[in-house]
Amino acid sequence: MQVTSERTSQRGVMNTTQQDTADKAAELLAKIAESRSRAAFSELFSHFAPKLQAYGTRQFGNEQTAMDLVQETMTNVWHKAHLFKPDRGSPSTWIFTIARNIRFDLLRKNKKRKDDISADELWPILAEQNDNLDDGYALDNDVLMQEIAHYYGQLPDAQREVVEKIYIEGKSQQEVSDSLGIPLGTVKSRTRLALKKLKELIVEHD
């Protein structure tokens, strides 16, 4: 895997200046998110606008479209700064992915098809995170253990298997994922569906 090792070494050489710049940019994004600071945004803008302009010019070979890319990308940065998550990557990578999405839309714009899909639907980097999703697995107080034991036999096989391991054998979702060889997301969704179904069964029989 030569490509991989090259990538690693490239990332390895991120120098102090780059790190400082990344920290500074992350700080500015945080200020924009917290206090809608126009000063912080202007500073970020003066750093990224020329880079985005150069990227746009290379991609489109057209100054006007390049300027559209700068404006639309930075407009998203202004409104969506709160969606930047420092633990998932550098500020410039986040901004690059926004620009990548804008580029995708600009390239398809002239085709003018009705209900054409937008890049934000395909790479939902700017969709609000639904933080409740991960909370759905704790058992609600109104679902009692013995009721689960009573009804879980009525679940579809795939869901029952997961519920058994989590709530009867006490495994974590990651352990279930590993032991059944299915993605963690699938374990989560089956758990969620199973709990929903169990609640319905319990209500039905009350």
Partner 1 sequence: MIKSHPSEAILYQYAAGDLSASMTLVVGTHIDMCPVCQQTVCDIESDLCQKHLDTVVETLTTPTAAFSGMSKATCDKMLEEIFSSEAKPSIQPEELICLEGRRFVLPRTLACNHSRIGEWTNLVGKLWRAPVNVGERGHTNLIYMEPGTQVPEHTHKGQEATLVIDGVFNDENDVYYDGDFILLDADRTHTPQTSENDCLTLATLDAPLYFTSGISRLLNPFSSLFFRV
Q: Which of residues 59-98 bind partner 1 (CB under 8 A)?
A: 63, 67, 70-71, 74-76, 78-80, 88-90, 92-93, 95-97
Q: Which H or E run includes 180? A: helix 173-180
Residue 173 in tokens: 């979702």
Q: Does the protein bind partner 1 through residue 25 (CB under 8 A)?
A: yes
Q: Taking the CA of residue 93 as centre, how many other CA atoms within 13 Å lie in the half-sphere pointing to its CB?
A: 11
Instruction: Choose, by CB under 8 A, the member of 30, 43, 137, 201 that binds partner 1.
Output: 43
Pick out residues in 133-152 that bind partner 1 (CB under 8 A). none
Q: Which of 9, 113, 131, 203 binds partner 1 (CB under 8 A)?
A: 113
- The CA-atom distances, in angstroms, between 175 and each of 99, 150, 171, 180 are 38, 24, 6, 8
Q: Which stretch binds partner 1 (CB under 8 A): 45-53, 142-150, 165-173?
A: 45-53
How many residues sit in the footprint of partner 1 (CB under 8 A)?
82
Indicate the Cα dihedral angle 134, 140, 145, 148, nearest 10°: -70
Q: How far is the CB of 116 from partner 1 (least distance, A)?
A: 4
Rounded distance, CA 189 to CA 191, Å?
5
Q: Does 121 bind partner 1 (CB under 8 A)?
A: yes
Cβ–Cβ under 8 Å, residues 47 and 25: yes
Q: Which stretch binds partner 1 (CB under 8 A): 50-58, 137-145, 146-154, 164-172?
A: 50-58
132 contributes a contact to partner 1 by CB under 8 A: no
63 residue type, one letter: E
Considering only the stretches 145-153, 160-168, 184-192, report the one whose residues sit in contact with partner 1 under the rule CB under 8 A. 184-192
Q: Of 110, 40, 90, 48, whose CA–CA distance to 73 is shortest?
A: 48
Minimum CB distance to partner 1, residue 6 (Å):
9
CB–CB of 55/99 below 8 Å?
yes
